[in-house]
Amino acid sequence: MSENTVPVFMHIDMDAFFASVEQHDHPEYRGKPVIVGGLPGDRRAVVSTASYEARRFGVHSAMPLFKAVSLCPNAVFVRGNMKRYSEVSQTIMDIFADYSPTVIQMSIDEAFIDTTGTERLFGPPQVLAAKIKERVMQATGLTVSIGIASTMYVAKIASGFRKPNGLTLIPSGDEEKFMTSLPLEKVWGAGTKTIAHIKNAGIRTTAQLRDKSLASLTTIFGNCTGTFLYNAMRGNKEMKFCDDPQNRSLSAESTYEFDLTDRYTIETALMQLAQTVIWRMHRAGVRSKTVSLKIRYEDFTTVSVQETSDSPVANADDLYERCRRLLQKKYQDGRGIRLLGIACEKVESKDLPSQGELFNSRNEKLSIVEKAIFEMESKNPALKLRKARLIEAEQNTLSHHGRNG
């Protein structure tokens, strides 16, 4: 990319994804409020996704199901079908890959695409976005909303601007104007506690927030939160694609709608991230001996810790255990976690000779099984094999799957 090239990022978000799949597969559900997450009477169930018809009654994702039943008792309630949702998601992700080699799937229902420099092939960004929307509709019968901007952060917010079936382009140079047109609640990454803190400081609009100097914001909110808000208001909140080969690392991270506090949930989130990173390493044909963990707390304080071992990461279980040890070293019990990220640093080709590897029969067997599963899934994308703990997490919507739609 030349110095004068303006980056073009798309953030594509599927509209009320789980509920939309149910309405597509069951024509009798169309036009009715559909709530995915459980059946009336299911204890401890939470709403995964609510159709737009259900949202008119005040139902939203992560709401306890019993409350959704009281708000919308005549809705269609379904427990959900993750296998089916994964199949549809893979179909859509494959479409994205036809238009850019750089696609980062953030969750089952959203992805970033770097379309910088593709205008000669596919036309202006709006034309390409319309083409992607048309292909998704033809292949799945579903709508998506697309945000286009010169930064990933602004593209992410823009994709939710005209939902459902929206397309919003923020021209380069208009990022700050766009950000200051939003209500405070639309500042992505600022949770309810941060918004309350902003309002308690006498700031009522994003324009007022933008007018505050960096020094003022860091004095009021602390260095981490203040810096985040200062950059966000200017549309230049830095985000990076995870698989930048120049960084010689492979990583994955997730931002959670609700802060993670109990150990089991946090460790399950680590397991999900470990599986994502290992699959990317299989795909890239690389290995790594260095693992890092990033934790961002609810006040935007971010800490990280790294460990280098004598032997390369063998498989997803091995990566998970290494990250769990790092968590035990660094996590402050009881603090709410907003974001978790793990990375395998200093990756190298698996074909290179490696010094200091110790034979571990269990890890060797797990690696062979894992590689076989990866090859099976590569040949048949509809096939999804996961640990029971991760299936349970998906059903309980641990991650932000389908949360905004």
Percent of the chain at pLDDT exceeding 90: 48
Residues 271 and 348 in one domain: yes
For residues 316 and 221, state if they share a domain: no
Does the N-terminal peptide bond of residue 164 adopt cis geometry, omega within 30 degrees of 0?
Answer: yes
| Average model confidence (pLDDT) across the chain | 83
Residue 102 falls within a domain, yes or no?
Answer: no
**Token duo for residue 391:** 């299936």
Instruction: Note if 110 is an active site residue.
Output: yes
In a domain, 142, yes or no: no
Identity of residue 225: T
CATH code of residue 259: 3.30.1490.100
pLDDT at 113: 94
Q: Do 219 and 264 share a structural domain?
A: no
147 band by pLDDT with thresholds 50, 70 and 90 = very high
Quote the strand ranges of 185-249, DSSP E.
none
Reported as type and span, the H/E element at residue 389 is: helix 388-395
The two tokens of residue 292 are 């890092």
Among 91-100, 220-229, 302-311, 344-353, the least confident range: 344-353
> What's the CATH code of the domain at 55?
3.40.1170.60
Note the pLDDT tens digit of each residue in 205-248. Answer: 999 999 999 999 999 988 888 888 999 999 876 554 434 333 46
Residue 211 shares a structural domain with residue 270: no
Cα 237 to its chain centre, rounded Å, is 16
pLDDT-based confidence at residue 383 (cuts at 50, 70, 90): very low
Last residue of a domain, one of 82, 99, 123: 82
Query: Whole-angstrom Cα distance, residue 125 to residue 35?
Result: 34
Residue 49 domain boundaries? 17-82
Q: DSSP per residue over 31-59, as a string?
A: TS-EEES--TT-TT-B-SEE-HHHHTTT-
390 and 258 both lie in a single domain: yes
Q: Examine the domain organization and report whether 192 and 253 are in the same domain.
A: no
Residue 324 falls inside a structural domain: yes
Identify whether residues 391 and 258 lie together within a single domain.
yes
- What is the reported pLDDT for 283? 75
Model pLDDT for residues 279-322, shown as the tens digit of each residue: 878 777 788 899 999 998 888 888 999 999 888 898 888 899 99
Q: Distances in Å between the alpha carbon of 66 and those of 19, 38, 58, 76, 79?
A: 18, 10, 13, 14, 14
Residue 367 belongs to some domain of the structure: yes
Same domain as 364, residue 296: yes
State the amino acid at position 348 in one-letter form: E
Q: Is it the case that residue 351 has pLDDT exceeding 80?
A: no
Could you say which of 34, 51, 82 is where a domain stops?
82
Last residue of a domain, one of 42, 62, 82: 82
Catalytic residue among 22, 28, 87, 110: 110
Q: How many domains does the chain have?
A: 3
Establish if 260 belongs to a structural domain. yes
Indicate whether 156 belongs to any domain. Answer: no
Residue 120 lies in a domain: no
| Buried-state track 335-360, b at ≥16 Cβ within 10 A, e below 16 | eebbbbbbbbbebeeeeeeeeeeeee
- Cβ pair 319, 291 in contact under 8 A: yes
User: Concatenated DSSP letters for 128-182?
Assistant: HHHHHHHHHHHHHS--EEEEEESSHHHHHHHHTTT-SS-EEE--TT-HHHHHTTS
Tell me: do 186 and 265 sit in the same domain: no
Q: DSSP letters of 78-96?
A: E---HHHHHHHHHHHHHHH
Longest CA–CA separation in the chain, Å: 64
Residue (of 184, 163, 191) closest to 13 by Cα position: 163
Q: Are residues 270 and 294 in the same domain?
A: yes
Is position 48 within any domain? Answer: yes
CATH of the domain at 213: 1.10.150.20
Tell the residue number behind the tokens 């409020």, with chain if given: 33
Closest CA to 122 of 146, 149, 99: 99
Q: Of all residues in the chain, what percent are helix, strand and coil, respectively (each to 5)?
A: 45, 20, 40
Q: Within this chain, do residues 288 and 204 fall inside the same structural domain, yes or no?
A: no
328 shares its domain with 203: no
Query: Quick check: 169 and 9 in contact, CB under 8 A?
Result: no
Tokens of 13: 């978000």
